[in-house]
Chains A and B, each alone.
Chain A
Amino acid sequence: MFDNISKTLFFKLPALSRFILTRFGIEMKVNQHMTDVPFIQVEDIHFSRGDNDIFRGVSMIIPRGKVTAIMGPSGTGKTTLLKLIGGQLTPDRGRILIDGQDVHRLSRKALFALRKRMGMLFQSGALFSDLDVFENVAFPLRVHTDLPDTMIRDLVLLKLQAVGLRGARHLTPAELSGGMARRVALARAVALDPELILYDEPFVGQDPISMGVLVQLIKRLNQALSLTSVVVSHDIKETLSIADYLYLIADGQVVAHGSPSTLEVNQDPRVSQFMHGEPDGPVPFHYPAETLYRDILGHDLAIKAG
């Protein structure tokens, strides 16, 4: 009963809190643009780390108000791509536009202003270790708004309720399990009701129940606020159920993109291998190495030869 009330409240709340935030002088841009104007444009990105060419010409369009999923084998650079979008890393070539602004040409101040409009869920959670769970979620509200304490308390508790951790508010990050920490991080990422949320592997380490809750949460946040979501995930079933559009990256390039239904029937072997989780196929499972035969036998021979 109470659960239901709080759930409705939670999803009504964004509208309410946006109203409050505007009253307190926080500019919250409401999406008045046409929905077909892309929110993020990634244009021909090249990026390398040392000799490791991570991206060799990646272009993407991430539409406004939709859930866009980015999938690909482990180590292809999905996290790197999110960091490029967030302005943490700078591409060697190409540019990224968010709402028409070139992220890597902004001044430090403008970049921080832009980031207030985004939320990012880190793969590692990245909670502040000197603050407890409650203060972690309250952090963005405290630094970016002048809301009175009672209101911050209510907002934080509702966000924690939505991820099922209202009772854990006094724990420190060190006392949380991995899955709990990511849920707290999720609550923190949506604390300010941002226009854009970047989720890096939101489902990792969740049991089936909390997984279901998170899937619903992401979907409803997206619908209720018409915010733009980018989800990086390996969980194909869950991702397909919420994504409006999908990008598959491998080997430094976009291999395929389209709506979930078109990708599921895509004939490209690289795509179908990934979508159906087959170990053998054109997408290598192994990090580049010499052949197993040489690695093991060559070593044995070397030992024998002394």
Chain B
Amino acid sequence: MQSKFSHYAARVIGLGRKGCDVVEALGRATVFLAQSAVGVPSREGWSLWLRQMHFVGVLSLAIVLVSGLFIGMVLALQGYTILVDFGAEQALGQMVALSLLRELAPVVAALLFAGRAGSALTAEIGLMKATEQLTSMEMIGVDPLRRVVAPRLWAGFVALPILTVGFSVVGIWGGYLVGVEWLGVFEGSYWSNMQASVSFIDDIGNGMIKSVVFALVVTWIAVFQGYDLVPTSEGISRATTRTVVYSSLAVLGLDFVLTAVMFGGL
């Protein structure tokens, strides 16, 4: 009886400690974000940012566009087989465009971005920490939060929404290839149905809002995990995994919340 009680007590204490750790890490991450992302970039800051746009954005372009193409094609294929039963295959364009703009483009692009760019950001910053590059930068009198972290954060914030737009465009084109060119849906109805049903604010706007939120969260997680990791090779590999896991979960969870608010009438 006594031992059972102390067993539970130990569990509660462990849980509480874990809770404290989580809250503390969140606090550190928030201070980190505030210290690095806020502030006016210098002239040099712009060139650092452009360089990171290349690493984070341009190098993720291929994987995002190819995935967008396939997703658009699959959507058209699946959508057609369902719609054709109701004789509604004319609505294929609408279905493809709305699925992509509202859901698939922001979510899948963010997941790909986490895997391609986020993990690379974590590993790169982590390695800089492990080899004392961040410390030596501090000793030279340069704040690594401004010099190393800020350009990467801002590059991620900007790159993902742009990648999402690319994803949607290529996906819609992929749907066109399969639906119109292959399955023979009338081309005029593919486009006109799409034009008539897609609302700029409700669909494109909300999709972009999602994408901006995901960009903030994924980049923040990636960069913070790199900056905060234990500077060993094991620490780097764990942090890289954490980046992908946490940001994927965050994206999917937030997507549900945002969808509920935007389209669920909450």
- Chain A residues close to B by CB (< 8 Å): 83, 86, 88, 108, 112-113, 115-116, 118-120, 122, 124, 126-129, 139-140, 143-144, 185, 188
**A129 in contact with B139 (CB, 8 Å):** no
One of B19-27, B125-133, B212-220 at the interface:
B125-133
- Which positions in B face A, CB cutoff 8 Å? 44, 127-128, 131-133, 135-143, 147
Closest B residue to A191 by CB, please name it. B140
Given contacts A115-B138, A120-B136, A122-B136, contact A129 B143 (CB under 8 A): no
Interchain residue pairs with CB less than 8 A apart (5): A83-B135, A116-B140, A122-B132, A128-B133, A128-B137
- Contact across chains for A112 and B132 when beta carbons are under 8 A apart: no
In angstroms, Cα B129 to Cα A129, docked, is 11
Using CB atoms, name the residue of chain A closest to B42.
A143
Q: Are B132 and A140 closer than 8 Å at their CB atoms?
A: no
Residue of B nearest to A139 (CB): B140
Say whether A124 contacts B143, CB under 8 Å.
no
Q: Give the Cβ gap from A141 to chain B, nearest Cβ, in Å.
A: 10
CA separation between A112 and B146, bound complex, in Å?
12
**Smallest CB gap from B51: residue in A:** A130
Whole-angstrom distance from the CB of B58 to the nearest CB of chain A? 17
Chain B residues lying within 8 Å of A108, measured Cβ to Cβ, are 143
Q: Which residues of B contact A127 (CB under 8 A)?
A: 133, 136
A127, B137: Cα distance in complex, Å: 9
Query: Which A residues lie within 8 Å of B128 (CB)?
Result: 129
Interface residues of B, dominant DSSP: helix
* Cβ distance A276 to chain B, nearest Cβ, rounded Å: 33
Q: Is the CB of B143 within 8 A of A126?
A: no
- The answer to whether A129 touches B133, judged by C-beta atoms less than 8 angstroms apart, is yes
Instruction: Look across to chain A and name the residue whose beta carbon is closest to the beta carbon of B145.
Output: A108
| Chain B residue nearest in CB terms to A109 | B143
Cα(A272)–Cα(B131), bound, Å? 35
Chain A: minimal CB distance from B193 (Å): 50
Given A108-B143, A118-B139, A126-B135; 7 other pairs, CB 8 A cutoff: A86-B139, A88-B135, A115-B138, A119-B139, A124-B132, A129-B128, A143-B44
B135 touches A112 (CB 8 A): no
Assess the B131–A129 pair: CB atoms within 8 A. yes
Distance of A287 Cα from B140 Cα, bound (Å):
33
Q: How far is the CA of A143 from the CA of B48 in the complex (A)?
A: 13
The answer to whether A143 touches B142, judged by C-beta atoms less than 8 angstroms apart, is yes
Closest chain A residue to B143 by CB distance? A112
**Chain B residues within 8 Å of A116, by CB:** 140-141
Chain B: which residue is nearest A112 at the CB level?
B141
What B residues does A86 contact at CB under 8 A? 139
Residues of A within 8 A of B138 (CB): 88, 112, 115
B44 — which chain A residues lie within 8 A by C-beta?
143
Contacting residues, chain A, for B141 (C-beta < 8 A) = 112-113, 115-116, 140, 143-144
Kindly provide the distance from the CB of A147 to the nearest chain B CB, expressed in whole angstroms.
14
Complex CA gap A86/B140 in Å reads 10
- CA of A126 to CA of B141, assembled, Å: 15
Report the bound CA distance from A115 to B143 in whole Å: 11
A126 close to B131 (CB less than 8 A): yes
Residue of B nearest to A114 (CB): B141
Q: Which residue of B lies closest to A124 (CB)?
A: B132
In the complex the two chains form, what is the Cα distance from A129 to B124 in whole Å? Answer: 10
Report the minimal beta-carbon distance from B36 to chain A, rounded to whole angstroms: 12
Q: Give complex CA distance A188, B138 in Å.
A: 14
* Contact across chains for B132 and A120 when beta carbons are under 8 A apart: no
Residue of A with least CB distance to B128: A129
Chain A to chain B: the 5 pairs with minimum beta-carbon distance, closest first: A126-B136, A116-B141, A126-B132, A115-B141, A120-B139
Could you tell me the distance between the alpha carbons of A129 and B132 in the complex, rounded to whole angstroms? 11
B131 touches A143 (CB 8 A): no
Contact between chains at B133 and A115 (CB < 8 Å) = no
CA distance A124 to B44 in the complex (A): 28
A275 to B60, CA, bound (A): 58
The residues of A that contact B143 with a CB separation of less than 8 Å are 108, 112
Cβ–Cβ < 8 Å partners of B131 in chain A = 124, 126, 129
Expressed in whole angstroms, the Cα–Cα distance for A112 and B144 within the complex equals 11
The contact of B142 among A88, A112, A122, A126, by CB within 8 Å, is A112
B residues within 8 A CB of A140?
140-141
- Do residues A115 and B135 form an inter-chain contact, with CB atoms below 8 A? no
CB–CB A122/B140 < 8 A: no
Whether B135 pairs with A143 at a CB distance below 8 angstroms is no
Give bound CA distance, A215 to B242, whole Å. Answer: 46
Taking a contact as CB atoms under 8 Å apart, the answer to whether A126 and B140 are in contact is no
Please indicate the chain A residues that have their CB under 8 angstroms from the CB of B132 in the complex: 122, 124, 126
Given the complex of chains A and B, what is the CA–CA distance between A72 and B142 in angstroms?
31
Measured in the bound complex, the distance between the Cα atoms of B131 and A119 in whole Å is: 18
A115 vs B127: C-alpha distance when bound (angstroms): 23
Report the minimal beta-carbon distance from B228 to chain A, rounded to whole angstroms. 16
